[in-house]
Chain A
């Protein structure tokens, strides 16, 4: 499958500061998390993808259109949710979304119809008729999200979409992103500092640091620990259970009072655990393969780079 975004040796300078340093990237039609510390070049990369800034070197395509030449076509197929407030005072929520639709080229009446439909999808109720200046930050965030999807774009670029949202609204928004990606084939670039959101939503992760791509992997690969490990959460005598497992040749160590950490992840190991638990009358509450936390991966990547410099 052709990559959705193909970047090759992209270089971007702001004066003498190198914001993007030979960035090469292929992003597929999935949900991709774009991570990086402040000043890593995430915003510049987004601007490059949107065709808003001129690049100093390299080439690429977005949705099949050439970077630097087809900016207008690219932007017509992208929905962008900026991190900043970006509102026009004096307009109601529904007017803002309708205006966004009209800016994308929808006819005014169709834009209004579509704005109401999308606001329903985003869970904005009667407050859509209120002046946007009276909205809370979370409400504005929802309006921005609605504005970014109102023209049914193929690619969504969401910059900190869950900031200012309460936990319930945050989960709702992430669910909407998942629905758009799963059921409507939208590709999403999720740029956030909330790593939990990336871990729970994204299929791929890109980590940028000092203008360079330091890591680009699928979430599945990234989550695998360096050595395969399984955690067994149980209810019973821990010493006896551990001893019996060790006798059966399983490398088991106590992780916490009711949790054993087993070295290995294969089916035979799991079968042995079930068998011994049955013999000893131990109640297995859960058997979970160990996963790397994204936070750990992110910190390791940044730390390694800091040491290298």
Chain B
């Protein structure tokens, strides 16, 4: 029995606006999702790559520091130069290609060639000033972080979180609980979208920002922030590129069925089949011959990676991090991602209240 039962009492407080209802849907969904042990484990695992990328930042900064030191010492033949002043200037101005020549370029290429877009990074380290090389290398490492470990984690995490979000409401008819209150479709959808967005931000945006801060702390001076001020914005945009189309697509699958396992299957099938199709087409089109100009034929073949959602998101992120030199090459991928987002949002908007009208 309650200690003090006051019975029914009228309530005349001030109700909040539409945003608070969105937040209520989102926070409740996040709370329920967070109860899952699997999700908590996945969150833990998805932070492990931060250590690898952090180590990458550390070695890069050590390498750059060593190169600058060697360059300055090479110039300082009479020991009359203010070492610290020159070191600061070197951060901005000196092109360390002379020093870099001491390291056989082949070794560096060999170490990095396993990774995509490594040619851009190698070129920058060899030819650009340390500040430019740093910007390029940080962007490249962050792009790699987004595209591979976190990209794969995202597929698994959305596959676990999103399929039940709407299909469960349809199955238990909980949508009546929402729509019999002053809630519109848009608020409902924004609230639901915020659930995967929050979890994906936890494995992309927040760790990437952490890596960036870690990089700044490892760097020789605070002036590095001025050289890399745009990277946090690129991280935000890259996170949005990863979060918005994928979450909308997964929510759309969830809205199309009462059975969350079907939605999960459709979600995984889109990634698996897309990647499989891309690889099959690429293999079929690969031609090892070279043209008279020396350019390999394979490079001239159309890039089919937009068939794969993984490739599409990756390509867009490469552009966001400034590693794609030709913006026109990215347009088809941006169009694919926009189309997915628009179609998924449209279907969601139509589907969420469809059972009420049945």
Contacts and interface: CB of A to CB of B under 8 A. Distances in A.
Given A52-B179, A99-B28, A184-B8, A87 B174 contact: yes
B16 interface: yes
A117 B10 CA distance: 11
Given A105-B16, A184-B8, A86 B181 contact: no
A50 B351 CA distance: 19
Q: Describe B's contact surface by its main secondary structure.
A: loop
B11 A151 contact: yes
Interface stretch (A77-85, A208-216, A227-235): A77-85
Contact of A75 (B16, B181, B356): B181
B181 A76 contact: yes
B161 to A, nearest CB: 12
A120 B5 contact: yes
Nearest to B4: A120
Interface in B164-187: 168-169, 172-174, 176-184
Contacts of B176: 80, 82, 84, 86
Interface string B5-44: 1111111110111001100110110001001000000000
Please tell me the size bucket of the interface on A. 35 or more
Given A184-B8, A184-B10, A147 B182 contact: no
Interface in A100-117: 100, 102-108, 110, 114, 117
B221 interface: no
Contact of A100 (B6, B11, B32, B181): B181
Nearest to B175: A86
A106 B17 CA distance: 9
B35 A90 contact: yes
Nearest to B13: A110
B77 interface: no
B177 A106 contact: no
The residue in B8, B173, B183 that gathers the most chain A C-beta atoms within 10 A of its C-beta is: B8
Contacts of B7: 120-121
A204 interface: no
Contact of A107 (B16, B27, B168): B16
Given A52-B356, A90-B35, A120-B5, A106 B25 contact: no
A270 interface: no
A121 to B, nearest CB: 5
B173 A86 contact: yes
Interface of A: 14, 47, 50, 52-53, 72-73, 75-76, 78, 80, 82, 84-91, 95, 99-100, 102-108, 110, 114, 117-118, 120-121, 125, 147, 149, 151-152, 176, 179-180, 183-184
